């Protein structure tokens, strides 16, 4: 599914056949009265719900429970990718948007390697904001 999305959208990305070492991004799903949002941030950082709510213009934001993420996205929560999640708006942490290349674990033995620009280009209406503490 992810590889098909990369190919059909001609993205500068690839799925590596191993879990890479080093700094990685994680994706977490949040919901509000304005809909669902996918926050993308470095795994070494902590999300700030206050900053995230401000970035999306909502008062209250809740993390989607892990047992509901697969139903809403088609992906297991621990392997949620920053692309190919239809109908969900993407919020990218500023630090992530400035990185030269990103890696995100997308399976037990798979890592997505992608440019921040490819994430923004493949997610309409994506937002770049300071969303971590």
pLDDT 10s digits, 114-126: 999 999 999 888 9
Q: Where are the domains of the chain?
A: 2-129
CATH topology of domain 2-129: YbaK protein (3.90.960)
pLDDT tier, 22 (very low <50, low <70, confident <90, very high otherwise): confident
pLDDT tier, 1 (very low <50, low <70, confident <90, very high otherwise): confident
C-alpha Rg value of the chain to the nearest Å: 14
pLDDT digits (tens, 9 = 90+) for 31-88: 998 899 999 999 999 999 999 999 999 988 999 999 999 999 999 999 999 999 888 9
pLDDT of residue 125: 86
CA distances from 58 to 86, 92, 122 (A): 21, 16, 24
Closest to 57 in 3D by CA, of 116, 125, 113: 125
**pTM of the entire predicted model:** 0.94
Q: Which tokens is 121 given?
A: 């280009």
Model confidence at 21: pLDDT above 90: no
pLDDT tier, 27 (very low <50, low <70, confident <90, very high otherwise): very high
Model confidence at 17: pLDDT above 90: yes
């Amino acid at each position: 599914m992810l590889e098909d999305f990369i190919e059909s959208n001609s993205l500068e990305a690839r799925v590596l056949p191993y879990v890479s070492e080093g700094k990685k991004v994680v994706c977490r799903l949040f919901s509000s009265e304005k809909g669902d949002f996918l926050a993308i941030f470095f795994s070494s950082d902590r999300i700030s719900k206050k900053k995230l709510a401000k970035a999306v213009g909502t008062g209250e934001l809740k993390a989607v429970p892990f047992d509901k993420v697969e139903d809403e996205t088609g992906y297991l929560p621990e392997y949620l990718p920053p692309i190919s999640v239809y109908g969900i708006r993407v919020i990218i942490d500023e630090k992530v948007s400035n990185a030269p290349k990103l890696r995100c674990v997308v399976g037990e033995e798979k890592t997505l390697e992608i440019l921040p620009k490819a994430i923004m280009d493949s997610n309409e209406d994506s937002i770049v904001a300071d969303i971590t503490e």
